[in-house]
Chain A
Amino acid sequence: MNLTEQFLARSAGKSRVSPGDIVTIKPDVMMGNDVTTAVTVRILNESGLDTFADKNKMFIVMSHFVPNKDIKTSEMTQSIRKFVEKHKLPYFFEAGKGGIEHALLPDEGYVVAGDVVVGADSHSCTYGGIHAFAAGIGSTDLAGAWVTGKIWMRVPETIKAAFHGIPKHPWTSAKDFVLHLIKEIGDDGATYQAIEYHGDAIENLTAEGKLTIANMAIEAGAKNAIFPFDKAIEAYEKGRARRPLNPVKVDPKAAFSRSFEWNVEDLEPQVSYPHLPSKAHPISKVMAEKIKVDQVFIGSCTNAKIEDLRIAAKILKGKKLAPWVRGVAIPASQKIYLEAIQEGIVEIFAKAGFAVTGGTCGPCLGGHYGIIGPGEVMLSTSNRNFVGRTGHPKGMTYLCNPAVAAASAVVGYIVDPCEVMGK
Chain B
Amino acid sequence: MLEKGKSYRYGRDVNTDLIIPARYMSTTDPDELASFCMEDIDKNFVKTVRKGDIIVAEENFGNGSSREHAPIAIKASGVQCVIAKFFARIFYRNAINIGLPIFEIPEAVDDIQYGDILEYDIDKGWFKNTRTGREFQAKAFTPEVKEIFDVGGLIPLIKKQLGKA
Report A's interface with B, CB cutoff 8 A: 22, 35-36, 38-39, 42-43, 47-49, 64-65, 69-70, 72-73, 76, 79, 119-122, 124, 136-141, 143-144, 147-148, 152, 187-188, 191-192, 218, 221, 223, 276, 365-367, 384, 386-389, 393
Complex Cα spacing A48 to B155, Å: 10
* B residues less than 8 Å from A384 (CB atoms): 17, 64-65
* Interchain nearest-CB distance for A81 vs B (Å): 14
Contact of A140 among B25, B88, B142, B153 (CB under 8 A): B153
Q: Does B28 contact A (CB under 8 A)?
A: yes
B interface, how many residues as a size bin?
35 or more
Contact of A152 among B59, B144, B162, B164 (CB under 8 A): B144
Within 8 A of A (CB), among B98-131: 98
Complex Cα spacing A79 to B40, Å: 29
Assess whether A147 is in contact with B158, with CB atoms less than 8 Å apart.
yes
Q: Mark B143-162, 1 if CB is under 8 A from A, else 0.
A: 11000000001110011001
Assess whether B26 is in contact with A387, with CB atoms less than 8 Å apart.
no
Assess whether A188 is in contact with B28, with CB atoms less than 8 Å apart.
no
Assess whether A36 is in contact with B15, with CB atoms less than 8 Å apart.
no
Q: Does B8 contact A (CB under 8 A)?
A: no
Q: Does B137 contact A (CB under 8 A)?
A: no
Assess whether B94 is in contact with A187, with CB atoms less than 8 Å apart.
no
Interface of B is mostly: loop
Complex Cα spacing A69 to B86, Å: 36
With A36-B68, A366-B22, A388-B23 already in contact, 8 other A-B pairs whose C-beta atoms are closer than 8 Å: A39-B72, A48-B164, A49-B159, A70-B26, A76-B28, A141-B97, A188-B59, A365-B65
- Report the nearest B residue to A41, measured CB to CB: B28
* B residues less than 8 Å from A43 (CB atoms): 155
* B residues less than 8 Å from A39 (CB atoms): 28, 68-69, 72
Assess whether A188 is in contact with B93, with CB atoms less than 8 Å apart.
no
- Report the nearest A residue to B88, measured CB to CB: A221
- Report the nearest B residue to A77, measured CB to CB: B26
Q: Does B44 contact A (CB under 8 A)?
A: no
* B residues less than 8 Å from A122 (CB atoms): 64-66, 90
- Report the nearest A residue to B86, measured CB to CB: A191
Q: Does B18 contact A (CB under 8 A)?
A: yes
- Report the nearest A residue to B15, measured CB to CB: A386
Assess whether B154 is in contact with A140, with CB atoms less than 8 Å apart.
yes
